Amino acid sequence: MPSADVAVIGAGLAGLSCAVELAERGARVFVAAKGMAATHWTHGGIDVAAPAGATTARAGVALLSGRRGHPYAHLAADVEPALDAHFTRLAGAGLSYGGDLDAPLVTVPTAVGTTRRASHLPVGQAPALDAWGDDGLLVVGFERFRDAWPAFAAGNLARVAWPGGPTRVAIAEAVLPGLGDLRNLNALTLAHLFDEAAWRTRALDAIAAVIPAGRWRIALPATLGLASHAETLALATATLGAPILEIVSVPPSVPGLRLFEALRGRLLAAGGRLHWGFWVTHVERDRDRVRAIHTEGASRTLRVAADAFVLASGGVAGGGLRAAPDGTLTERVFGLQVTAPAHDDWFTDEALAPQPIEAAGIEVDAELRPLLDGPRNVHVIGSALAGMRYLDERCGDGVALASGHRVARLLGRADAAASVRREGAA
């Protein structure tokens, strides 16, 4: 029977960052995850805060922290130390980021030719944060790769309002070597090919052959290596003679997978355990505390006892909150009470407008414990928290990191004291 100081449910950005910090503080950590996390689907950047009216990410955090019930009302002071720890951790794993809390929020392009505001991007996207000057944007596609749409994106970007953006937008298409026999050509397939040194060189030469003269930043599908991304990006920049902007399209997100793998590697190196691919099926309780969780396994149910539990299973979009036929929402692991709009008010009539259901989640106290009759040794982090509209406010990653950091600090102190007691008893 496994036992741990802390059991974390969920392996997205919130769960893994919290688990890594706990493990590096000396806690025995067990992570249970049902499957692919949000990192596998999103752009790999860190959305800290970009609500309407904010000019910097720090100003966005301050604005949101003043909204009653928003997670940043508890977590504003945790954002900067959480980001510093996160980026230091990733740099140590070979994954660098650019950006600044106090720099102006920057308009960056998306795969469909819209734009969004950003503050922190992985190194393969970070040139989008720099002033454009006389640079144009060249959107490059790959023949037979149908998960990127250079002509569609470039056409939209040429028409979109983009103050201070590129002087011009153009397209090109490269024929990469050896793809003719592949039936399932997705971003991950190409990333694995870019990890191969010989193929990488031939592919980059093929891309270089279609680059027109002029000052460009070159937007490529986000496929430049998984295990060898830093090496691939450096060679691509040198071969093409221009800054590279990776653009993420449909899942799987290769930048998100790089982020996940970097955090997973840090967790395992620090002695943490990761149980992947199974639901939590049962929770053992004793009055107002959780004693253990049961999770499915390949051949038997696994019981995990712990002193504390961290819920990082996500919100409505991530499956952590489940809608019942009567229109109520329930939290699926511990059965925590969910704060949500009335059923008739979940959605607006405008499909692209912010939806009220997005703010559903668990209300918590300053130690991120459930306010409404929840177990006292359960802490809630990430998008399971109530009160934010992370798509509209672009704050989900910042909340994930800040909440994970706060819980790791709280539980890390307790685990350090417990470790001293265990060593003394021995």
pLDDT in tens, 211-248: 999 999 999 999 999 999 999 999 999 999 999 999 99
Same-domain check for residues 224 and 269: no
Q: How far apart are CA 48 and CA 128, in angstroms?
A: 17
| Position 97 in a domain | no
Same-domain check for residues 200 and 299: no
| Whether the predicted pLDDT of 421 surpasses 60 | no
| Position 121 in a domain | no
Token code pair at residue 281: 């099926």
Residue 2's pLDDT is 72
| Whether the predicted pLDDT of 40 surpasses 80 | yes
Residue 323's pLDDT is 83
Confidence at 357, pLDDT banded by 50, 70, 90: confident
Per the CB < 8 A criterion, the answer to whether 388 and 396 are in contact is yes
In this prediction, what percent of the chain has a pLDDT beyond 90? 77
Same-domain check for residues 8 and 76: yes
Residue 426's pLDDT is 41
Q: Which of 184, 217, 242 is the last residue of a domain?
A: 242
| Whether the predicted pLDDT of 289 surpasses 70 | yes
Residue 414's pLDDT is 58
Same-domain check for residues 271 and 235: no
| Position 42 in a domain | yes
Q: Which of 242, 267, 293 is the last residue of a domain?
A: 242
pLDDT tens-digit series, residues 54-85: 999 999 999 999 999 999 999 999 999 999 99
Same-domain check for residues 35 and 168: no
Residue 294's pLDDT is 96
Same-domain check for residues 281 and 394: yes
Average pLDDT over the chain reads: 91
Q: Which residues are CB-neighbours of 351 under 8 A, at least 6 positions away?
A: none
Mean pLDDT of 402-414: 91
Q: How far apart are CA 264 and CA 241, in angstroms?
A: 33
Q: Which of 242, 268, 295 is the last residue of a domain?
A: 242
Question: At 423, which helix (H) or strand (E)?
Answer: helix 396-425
| Position 323 in a domain | yes
| Whether the predicted pLDDT of 46 surpasses 70 | yes
Instruction: Indicate the number of domains in the chain.
Output: 2
pTM for the whole structure: 0.93
Same-domain check for residues 311 and 399: yes
Residue 364's pLDDT is 96
Mean pLDDT of 290-311: 92
Q: Concatenated DSSP letters for 335-362? A: --B-B---GGGS--S-TTSPPGGGG-BB
Confidence at 413, pLDDT banded by 50, 70, 90: low
pLDDT tens-digit series, residues 239-268: 999 999 999 988 889 999 999 999 999 999
Q: Concatenated DSSP letters for 120-184? A: EEETTTGGGGS--TT-EEEEEEETT-TT--HHHHHHHHHHS--TT--S-EEEEEE--TT-TT-SS
| Position 250 in a domain | no
Confidence at 420, pLDDT banded by 50, 70, 90: very low
Same-domain check for residues 370 and 397: yes
Q: In the chain, what is the straight-line distance between the N-terminal and C-terminal CA atoms, in Å?
A: 21
Same-domain check for residues 143 and 70: no
Q: How far apart are CA 333 and CA 10, in angstroms?
A: 11
Structural domain for 157, as ranges: 131-242
Residue 423's pLDDT is 37
Same-domain check for residues 181 and 295: no
In this structure, which long-range contacts are made by residues 126-132, counting pairs with CB atoms below 8 Å and at least 24 apart in sequence? 126/97, 126/98, 126/99, 127/217, 127/243, 127/244, 127/245, 128/217, 128/245, 129/98, 129/99, 129/103, 130/243, 131/164, 132/164, 132/165, 132/166, 132/167, 132/217
Same-domain check for residues 238 and 262: no
Mean pLDDT of 119-130: 96
What CATH number is given to the structural domain containing 69?
Answer: 3.50.50.60
